[in-house]
Amino acid sequence: AAIDRRDEGLVLKDPDSVYRPAARTKGWIKVKPDYVDSLVPELDLVIVGGFYGAGRQHGVISHFLLAAAHSDTITDGGRVTRVVSVCRVGSGYTSDELAALGAKLAPCLSKVRPSTVVECSKDKPHVWYNPSNSVVLQIRAAEVSTTKSYGSNHTLRFPRVEAIRADKTWQDILTTAQLEQLRQEASGKLAVHHLPEDSDGVGSGKKGVVQGAQLTTRGAALPLHFTPADLSSVTQTGSALAGKEVCVLDGAGAGHTKQQLERMVAEAGGSVTQNPGSDTFCVVCSKSTVRSKNLSKGHNIVKPEWLVRSIESKELLPWGPLDAISLLPDKQLEASYTHDRHGDSYTRHVDVARLQTILDNMQAEQVADVDLQEMQEDLMEFDEPYHIFSRVTALMVDEDGRPTADGEMTRLQLQLYGAATVISLTSAVTHLVCRSSECSLSWEQREGRHLVTEAWVEDTIRQGKRLNERTYTPSIKS
């Protein structure tokens, strides 16, 4: 109830105890959600700045400026490129832990703000740390609120360090979009989980931490796209995924949420996992991310659209180039037997929507004129009227042998009947078409090329066959 009312916490009192100001007795216990394990999410942030302490900590960096990934600067591949400040933290560690942390941060210390840190904070640190080499801290806090004091326009209330995440880098930290989603949920309060009514798991520990209590979830404390679906009430209605274990990272590409796809997997007879293992059939992800790249070393990474189509078809469809982000070598080989490089199946019919997807994903390729002409010859008879200038690449020149923009009608006629035309002399030019009966050309210009007048073009079209070029060679001016 306290969580639902957004209260700060509970005070438990022994009825026989007496309240004494400033006294700590066993008769009074304060329980706050942010000190109860699993009632609030842990937030991973990277250290980007440090502040020197006062008093006993004079000359020692005792507080740290933390940052989140700037969502607007994350690449399509999911790579973090810029970070923005979120809060300052100075509690949750002992003096020895602080000394060890300082030693770990020393190599990346700088007096100048790194370019990867967005300059939008009123809380200027005494020293800076490059986030690409810095340390990730696991933070616990009471709530997320808006502020103009930090670059992310968000901050954490009562933050403290829970752990140093040596297994994570700045590519794994919280994003500003996730911060905003947390703020919108439960009015910014980070505690929205509940203890079961029959729980008696209040044990000893720092600040009254509940130890070993089983939790039940009534709301999402983590960002929605990280939260697993509740599958307790799902009824199996199909068998397309029978015996298959699937990990769903997200479902954006198919217009579904992660939770909806997980329920669909369960309904189709499959099992859902949040941590892929050796028995996991596939990992579902809409785009390449840091996590999917790591998982691709041992798993097939497929798109949500494939999962939805398979479930709707009531069978496992073979994977093709358009269905996967990354396939293991054996599955890549299988895909080459069932699909062409554009993703069109050799054996299955496609509907209009699928065909449109295939066409949209085809990469435009530059086709050489020679290849294009060969293709035209394969498709058409050689005596086809509009094919008589096949393999001709023409350049219009004036009487001095210089390329000219004149002769537009001749140029269009050449193109209409199969020739390629250019505006400058290149090695591909086969015919120099002179607009005059006399022409001045160097030997280098003429070498290996036909020199003809416009009459050759007109007469060839009129007779419907390519005429001998020598008959139409203009006089060469000295």
Over the stretch 54-74, which tens digit does the pLDDT of each residue have? 777 777 899 999 999 998 888
pLDDT higher for 245 or 367?
Answer: 245
pLDDT for res 447: 82
H-assigned helices in 140-192: 176-184
Pairing of strands 245-248, 301-302: unpaired
Under the banding of pLDDT at 50, 70 and 90, the label for residue 8 is: low
Query: What pLDDT is stored for residue 368 in this prediction?
Result: 63
pLDDT band at 143 (very low <50, low <70, confident <90, very high): confident
In angstroms, the Cα distances linking 390 to 144, 171, 188, 372, 468 are: 70, 56, 71, 10, 15
Phi, psi (degrees; rounded to nearest 5) at 366:
-80, 120
Distance (Å, rounded) from C-alpha 64 to C-alpha 156?
13
Q: DSSP letter at 125?
A: -
Q: Identify whether the C-beta of residue 59 lies closer than 8 Å to the C-beta of residue 270.
A: no
> What confidence tier does 478 reach under pLDDT thresholds 50, 70, 90?
low
Indicate the pLDDT class of residue 225, thresholds 50, 70 and 90. Answer: low
Write the CATH number of the domain with boundaries 237-360. Answer: 3.40.50.10190
Say whether 282 sits in a helix, a strand or coil: strand
What's the CA gap between 106 and 283, in Å, rounded? Answer: 39
Could you check whether 237-360 and 369-476 share the same CATH topology? Answer: yes
pLDDT at 37 exceeding the cut of 60? no
Give the CATH architecture of domain 369-476.
3-Layer(aba) Sandwich (3.40)
Q: Mean pLDDT throughout 273-294?
A: 91
Report the distance separating Cα 421 and Cα 431, nearest Å: 9
pLDDT of 356-403, one tens digit each? Answer: 988 988 877 766 655 666 666 666 655 567 788 888 999 999 888 888
Question: What pLDDT does residue 193 have?
Answer: 47
Q: What DSSP character marks residue 75?
A: -
Whole-prediction pTM:
0.40
1-227: what CATH class?
Answer: mainly beta
Q: What is the mean pLDDT of residues 18-41?
A: 60
Domain boundaries, the chain: 1-227, 237-360, 369-476
Q: Please give the pLDDT value at position 95.
A: 85
pLDDT of residue 212: 32
- Say if CB 3 and CB 10 are below 8 A apart: no
Q: Which two tokens stand for residue 228?
A: 């697993």
